[in-house]
Amino acid sequence: MTVTLIPKEPFKVLIDAKCITPDEFAGKSLEEINSLEVYEGSLVRKLGDLFVIKGDPEDNVDETRIVIEGDVWKVCRIGEKMSGGSILIKGSAGHYLGRWMQGGRIEVRGNVRSWLGAEMQDGTIEVFGNAGSFVGGRLRGKVGKKGMKKGYIIIHGSAGARVGHGMVKGTIIIDGNSGPFPGSEMMGGKILIRGDCEGKAGANMIGGSVIICGRLPSVLPGFYIDDIAPKAKVKKEKIEGPFYVFVGDALASRICGGRLYIHKASNPHLKVYEELLEEV
């Protein structure tokens, strides 16, 4: 059922460990798991060289459960392309956690670095600490509908810049604050930020909605005020408002399919927009 990985010693360089997924572990014996290839810097090592591996692996992907006891702050690409099962990390995790993930569940008790759930297709990621930049983001250089397709990311701490960059569908919830550019180049889906945002929300967005309950320093000039909504809804949860609703980004598309919900009570400096609303 459960496979437990315990780091043998603190990592010195970044580790490329895309093999730590339920899909790779399922149907393999402990010895086979021990001999999976990982990169430590530029050196090829075996997974067993870096971790003590215990437990009894399962044939079925969905019932495979991986528990990492300890800090894997420098281990990247855990859970890449996983299609089922679950991963529990009882510490912090590295870059590209759950990239291209297709299903299953990842839980992190500590913090994670950048590109959490990048371009994920489906599944659930829960982080109890903070996250780096590009949560659920589309990789550099890609254009069009290549971002997060579906799934659910919840971060109980704060997140860095460009949350949900280029996302197509799905939900990202951040209980803390967010860095600049949440929802940049977004095409659909929902981002909820319960804390403050550093600014420039929804830059170049053409669809989807970003809900900010805390303070936003200013709204980008590509957005028009549309309405004042009493409530916003994310995943059946109703969030009490009222919210200023902005549409945009006019710079990215004339249709202005994107929505920004900015909490009215936390943003008294945006009151000037109300005058524009009355004129209409």
Q: Which stretches of the chain bind another protein, using CB under 8 A?
A: 42, 139-144
Task: For residue 68, list its beta bridge partners.
Answer: 5, 89
In this structure, what are the phi and psi dihedrals at residue 16, rounded to the nearest 5 degrees?
-100, 100
Q: How far apart are CB 262 and another protein at their closest, in Å?
A: 28
Tokens of 236: 């059946």
Q: How far apart are CB 8 and another protein at their closest, in Å?
A: 25
Q: Which is nearer to another protein, 141 or 268 (CB)?
A: 141
Q: Which is nearer to another protein, 115 or 181 (CB)?
A: 115
Q: Which is nearer to another protein, 58 or 119 (CB)?
A: 119
Q: Which is nearer to another protein, 24 or 58 (CB)?
A: 24
Q: Which is nearer to another protein, 185 or 196 (CB)?
A: 185
Q: How far apart are CB 222 and another protein at their closest, in Å?
A: 16
Q: How far apart are CB 261 and another protein at their closest, in Å?
A: 27
- What residues have CB less than 8 Å from 134, skipping those under 6 apart? 114, 115, 116, 118, 160, 161, 162, 163, 165
Q: How far apart are CB 142 and another protein at their closest, in Å?
A: 4
Show the CA angle centred on residue 175, arms to residues 170 and 180, nearest 5°.
75
Spatial contact of 23 and 61, defined as CB atoms under 8 Å apart: yes
Q: Which is nearer to another protein, 29 or 35 (CB)?
A: 35
How far, in Å, are 208, 256, 259, 279 from residue 273 at the CA level? Answer: 22, 17, 15, 10
3-state secondary structure of 97: coil
In what helix (H) or strand (E) does residue 31 lie, and over which residues does it extend?
Answer: helix 30-34
**Residue 115 half-sphere exposure, CB side, CA atoms within 13 Å?**
18
Q: How far apart are CB 133 and another protein at their closest, in Å?
A: 16
3-state secondary structure of 134: coil
